[in-house]
Amino acid sequence: MRKPANHLSIDTLTEDASLALLRRGRAEAEALFLSIGEGAIVTDNHGNISRINNIALQLLGYSTRELVGKWYPEAIVAEDESGNLIPNMERPNLEVFLTGKPVFDKVKYLRKDGTKMSVAVTVSPILLNNSPIGAIEVFRDITSEVELENAKDEFISIASHELRTPATIVKQYLSMVMGGYAGSLTEDQLVMLTTAFENNERQLNIINDLLRVARAEANAVKIIKEDVDLVLLVDEIIKDFNDKFNAAQQQVTYIHNVESAIYSADPVHLRMVLENLLSNANKYTPDKGKIAIKLTQTKTKIKVSVKDTGVGISKRDIPKLFYKFSRINNPLTTTAGGSGLGLYWVKKLVMLHGAEIKVSSAPKKGSTFTVIFNRTNEKTGSGHQAGILNPGQ
């Protein structure tokens, strides 16, 4: 007997159900994409824009027709923080195809009306069988945040300059009075003036730290390289700190596996890096503690480490060490003082020298700070001028 014409086979029902599920999945995916609370752009494996949500269109000032199907690097112009056009192959949406991993960046997008917008960008590859077939970018407008940061840095710079002059004059007059230029002093007067002088010196150090940070944020730090003997430099700095080490009855050792370790660096800024590490070891190590400085040289690297038996740092606090104005709470924080800018400045100078800094620590077990100088890309020679520090690196 023949089946009725309107009878549907099981195969047909299964196929219809599968199509319905597929349509529903696509609808859900589309709804999810459109509901993203920030700008979102999808590109195919050729870098062409295949989808873009309404928030991205509003932020950029374009219509869907003007962007979909266009090659992403040409359709959306991007600049770096200095206003230079970013080469096409360095754009995050193309970079993910080379790495296969998410890329994070901060750039400036050019809107349709010609204005510029600072954005934080996250681009992730779309993978099929572990191969990228496209990319999805999510970005947000951070223009107001950048402007606020710039205003803050400008304020710090101006305030620091205005504060430095009177603080320096106070220091000069205190020195003259303590030196007897205004007559003899009683013991009590000398004690009070010494306290005033030390606190004024501390204020000047904080102002200098603020000025350095302002210069760093303004890309205004330059280094002049020359050949520096790190073995000798470390030895000189240790001798400069001897009085402080002795006052705290701290046992200090210095071990180096070579008699000389020549590296092309700015001696003034490099001294600042090493002085800061030794100063911190001195401040955050209790009396009668131990501080070990070690220098090792290989064909490719020079490592300088400063290890102490101090209060230590918890694992969760280590990433905060190199932030501006970051201070880690510990039993010696109050007595040690400081602006929370020292290690921020250290990190910037280390980066400027093409080096890196690593930290290992645990509470009550001390800390080890290690600066690693890469000799493979080193350019030695007196008078070599390096580039300008880029704080965004």
Domain check: are 56 and 155 in the same one?
A: no
Tokens 């510029």, residue located: 116
* Domain match, 256 and 379 both: yes
Whether residue 160 sits in one domain with residue 44:
no
Per-residue model confidence (pLDDT) at position 176 = 86
Q: Can you tell me whether residue 4 is helix, strand or coil? A: coil
Measured CA to CA, the distance from residue 227 to residue 269 in angstroms comes to 13
Distances (CA, A) of 258 to 59, 227, 238, 261, 375: 58, 16, 17, 7, 15
Report the candidate in 98, 101, 106 with the shortest Cα–Cα distance to residue 125.
101
Q: Are 374 and 354 in contact (CB under 8 A)?
A: yes
CATH number, domain of 383, equals 3.30.565.10
Q: Is 294 exposed, middle or buried (0-12, 13-18, 19+ CB in 10 A)?
A: middle
Number of Cβ atoms within 10 Å of the Cβ of 220? 11
Are residues 362 and 274 part of one domain? yes
CATH of the domain at 114: 3.30.450.20
Is the residue at 393 inside a domain?
Answer: no
What pTM did the predictor assign? Answer: 0.50
Which of 37, 47, 103 shows the shortest CA–CA distance to 76? 47
pLDDT tens digits, 335-390:
555 556 778 888 888 988 889 999 999 888 899 999 999 886 554 443 333 333 33
Q: Are residues 200 and 261 part of one domain? A: no
Instruction: Tell the burial category of 370 from Cβ atoms under 10 Å away from its Cβ (0-12, 13-18, 19+).
Output: middle
Residue 301 located in a structural domain: yes
pLDDT values of the chain reduced to their tens digit, one per residue, 393 residues:
455 555 555 555 565 555 555 555 454 445 555 556 688 888 888 889 988 888 889 899 999 999 999 998 889 999 887 788 988 888 887 778 777 788 888 889 999 998 999 998 888 888 777 777 888 888 888 888 887 777 766 766 666 667 777 888 888 888 888 888 888 888 888 889 888 888 887 777 777 766 766 666 666 567 788 999 999 999 999 999 999 999 999 999 999 999 999 999 988 889 989 999 999 999 999 999 999 999 999 999 999 999 999 888 888 888 888 877 666 666 555 455 555 677 888 888 898 888 999 999 988 889 999 999 988 655 444 333 333 333 333
Residues 136 and 182 placed together within one structural domain of the fold: no
At residue 310, the 3 state secondary structure works out as coil
